[in-house]
Amino acid sequence: MSEPAASITHEGESGSPESGLVLIPGLIAGRRWAALPASAQLARQVGDQLDDLRNLPGCTIIKENMVRTVYRLRLDGFPDLIVKHYRSRGLRDALKHLFRPTKAEAEWRAARRMAQAGISVPRMLALAVKRSGPLFQDAALVMEAIRDGRSPLDWVHRDPSARRQMLELIASLCARMHRNGIVHPDFHPGNVLATETGANVPELHVLDLHSVRFPFHIGMRTRVQSLAMVVEALQHALEHGELRHLCEHYAGSAGLDARSAGKLWDRVLCAARRSGRARMSRRTVRCLKTSSGFVRERSGSRRIFRARAFPAARVTAAIDEHRTSMSAASANVIHRASKTAVSVTEDGLCVKEWLPRALCRSWPRTLVGASPGRTAWIAANGLIARGIAVPDPFALVEDLALRGSCYLITRYEGNARPVNDLAREAAAGNVAESEQKAMAAAIGGLVGRLHAQGVCHHDTTTKNFIAERTPQGWDVKLVDLDSVRFWRKLTAERRLEALSRLNDLPDGISHRVKLAFLKAYGRHCPRQIDARAAATIAAMTLQRSSARGFRPPE
């Protein structure tokens, strides 16, 4: 049994009398533990119960994924604790940690060096590593919890007058780390906690230190990336002027020259946008891989993607019930056409099937991952990540057999109605104009948020929106998602084409209702609709109506 923890020593921790780590004799539940001298008993107590911590009465899970679980633990005689339990992902991690420290060891070392530099970090208490021979299996890190710590965003929302002070504190903290040769690759408000002090100035504590680096030189590119992460996290809560002040305060605290300081804001803003697009792209395709939220598996000729919380048995049962309903022409079938069929299960699921077509079109496209069901599955999860309301997606099933179908399982929105049905009722005078305006504003806001994020639905007709009246207003969701595409930049032509489809309404819908839609769209999309754009939309709508023979849209 190797002893990697023995290589970690405290030459003197800031603010504490302990002189170094103490290796605890023997193994505790198969792990080698090291702790500060005063925390040896704590290490034994946590080590005995580490594999069963979640079942202890004073334990709550803060965060959990496939490789890490973070607990908040209360034990008699000790302050509140944070316990991080890291697990190996397999041979790759086992081999990697032959040459690199585990995340627990890296966080311990980073905390020591940052404390010596005057950066406030959690106080580390104990560390454990479990190996099979030389191969890493898991690790644990025990630290004191930050008492009464809150996110900087909570401070800003609680007291808007404190925004400027909090932004300056964050900028000063980032500059102080850089002056001391410290780079936190994941430095953003989510990894910072603020606590009150007697001087009415919050104290900031930096968390998640396992990825912290200590380069010999910190260049301008690294500084921009660090600030871009902060700006990206705050840009939806604060004005650009406030974020610019953050960069200016950083430049003054870091001692940048006038030329670098002058270009800093523009570079940070561009980097934040690039980082946001990259992060959103990763979140969009996360549903195609096995992760903490999703499962990818095979069952015979079927390839299944499902939410981890949605059992595989329920996927099979939903498809079997759908196929039974289709063969028996059940009342649960709500749509059937040459390309698709939709049914509702008894437990409130909606199953959409893309029916098999010619062999030359269906089977090869499914093999290369271009099935319409997969497009809809990616779109549904990508839209949810962007804050766009759609029916909750639960699973995608692709049948790889010859002429196989694909199925998308979502939540059935039984109380919602297609907007085209509501539009016909409104045109007939059965819906008050105030309700029409409220619904139009809800649809306009949704479409504006779509276009603001570079998302285009290539069939944005009223039949592809469903709406439900709630006490808070109209709840509008987007459906038929196999027509959704994610673009880096949405062209004006695509935007106006989408708006003209929604503008193509039955006679009887007043211009005031259409204006409510456009106003709501303009509030959420940065590209406003000017007179020239409105004329283009009207011309496209007239052209479509003429081609249809002035018949109302279905």
Q: From CA 348, how far away is CA 518, in angstroms rounded? A: 35
Same domain, 531 and 544: yes
Q: Are residues 283 and 293 in the same domain?
A: no
Q: What's the rounded mean pLDDT across residues 72-87?
A: 91
Element (H, E) at 327: helix 312-327
Query: Is the pLDDT reported for residue 14 higher than 60?
Result: no
Contact 42, 75 (CB under 8 A): yes
3-state SS record for 445-485? HHHHHHHHCCEEECCCCHHHEEEEEECCEEEEEECCHHHEE
Q: Which amino acid is at 405?
A: S
81, 110, 144 - which closes a domain: 144
Q: Which residue has the higher pLDDT, 543 or 117?
A: 117
> 466 in a domain, yes or no?
yes
Statement to judge: residues 398 and 428 lie in one domain: no
User: Which domain-ending residue is among 248, 269, 287?
Assistant: 287
If asked whether residues 305 and 406 sit together in one domain, one would say yes
- In this prediction, residues 470-494 reach a mean pLDDT of 86
Q: What is the pLDDT of residue 237?
A: 75
- Confidence band of 225 (pLDDT split at 50, 70, 90): very high
Q: Which of 117, 115, 134 is nearest to 36 (CA)?
A: 115
**Cα distance between residue 249 and residue 170, in whole Å:** 9
> CB neighbours of 149 closer than 8 A, spacing ≥ 6?
193, 194, 195, 205
How far CA 480 is from CA of 169, 326, 380, 441, 486, in Å, comes to 46, 20, 10, 21, 15
Q: For the packed helices 240-254 and 220-234, what is the interaxial angle rounded to 10 degrees?
A: 150
Domain presence at residue 554: no
Task: List pLDDT tens digits, range 301-310.
Answer: 889 999 999 9
Instruction: Round to whole Å and give the CA distance between 507 and 552.
Output: 8
Q: What is the mean pLDDT of residues 507-514?
A: 82
- Report if residue 553 sits inside a domain: no
Q: How confident is the model at residue 38 (pLDDT cuts 50, 70, 90)?
A: confident
Query: Residue 24 belongs to a domain with what CATH number?
Result: 3.30.200.20
Of all residues in the chain, the percent with pLDDT exceeding 70 is: 90
Q: Same domain, yes or no, for 295 and 210?
A: no
* Residue carrying the six token digits 């990818």: 296
Mean pLDDT of 415-422: 90
Specify the DSSP class assigned to residue 213.
B
Asked which of 144, 167, 182 is the last residue of a domain, the reply is 144
Within 13 Å, how many C-alpha atoms sit on residue 158's CB side? 8
Q: What is the pTM of this model?
A: 0.80
pLDDT at 357: 66
In a domain, 62, yes or no: yes
CATH code of the domain containing 214: 1.10.510.10
Token pair 């890296």 in the structure block, residue: 106
- Does residue 268 share a domain with residue 167? yes
pLDDT of residue 19: 39
Per the CB < 8 A criterion, the answer to whether 508 and 431 are in contact is: no
Note whether 346 and 401 are same-domain residues: yes
- Mean pLDDT value of segment 35-58: 90
Least confident segment among 326-335, 339-348, 441-450, 502-511: 502-511
Please give the residue that has the higher pLDDT: either 76 or 4: 76
What is the three-state SS of 108-129? Answer: HHHHHHHHHCCCCCCCEEEEEE
Nearest to 436 by CA among 521, 537, 512, 534: 512
Which pLDDT value is given to residue 430?
Answer: 87
pLDDT of residue 548: 58
Confidence band, pLDDT 50/70/90 cuts, at residue 65: confident
Per residue in 446-460, pLDDT (tens digit) is 998 888 888 888 888
How is residue 129 written in tokens? 């590593």
Enclosing domain of residue 161: 152-287
pLDDT of residue 528: 67
Contact 188, 232 (CB under 8 A): yes
Q: Which pLDDT tens digit goes with each residue over 519-538?
A: 888 888 777 677 777 777 77
Angle at alpha carbon of residue 486, lines to 481 and 489, rounded to 5° = 145
Inform me whether the pLDDT recorded for 165 exceeds 60: yes
| 63, 85: one domain | yes
Question: What is residue 365's predicted lDDT score, i.e. its pLDDT?
Answer: 52
Do residues 158 and 130 both lie within one domain? no
Instruction: Please indicate, yes or no, if residue 37 is contained in any of the structural domains.
Output: yes
Q: What is the DSSP letter of 552?
A: P
> Is 186 part of any domain?
yes
Domains of the chain: total: 4
Q: With 60 as the cut, is the pLDDT of residue 490 above it?
A: yes
- Specify the pLDDT at position 359: 52
Do 467 and 407 fall within a single domain? no
Please state, rounded to an integer, the average pLDDT across all residues of the chain.
85
- Predicted confidence band at 328 (pLDDT cuts at 50, 70, 90)? confident
For 177-196, what is each residue's pLDDT tens digit?
999 999 999 999 889 999 98
State the average pLDDT over residues 485-513. Answer: 81
Q: How confident is the model at residue 542 (pLDDT cuts 50, 70, 90)?
A: confident
Residues 370 and 339 in one domain: yes
Tell me: the pLDDT tens digits for 366-379?
Answer: 455 568 899 999 99
Taking the C-alpha atoms of residue 421 and residue 439, their distance in angstroms, rounded to an integer, is 13
Is 359 found in the same domain as 229?
A: no
pLDDT at residue 2 is higher than 70:
no
Helix axes 240-254, 258-285, angle to 10 degrees: 120
Give the list of residues 6+ apart from residue 113 with CB closer than 8 angstroms, or none.
182, 214
What mean pLDDT do residues 260-282 have?
A: 89
> What is the structure's pLDDT at 132?
86
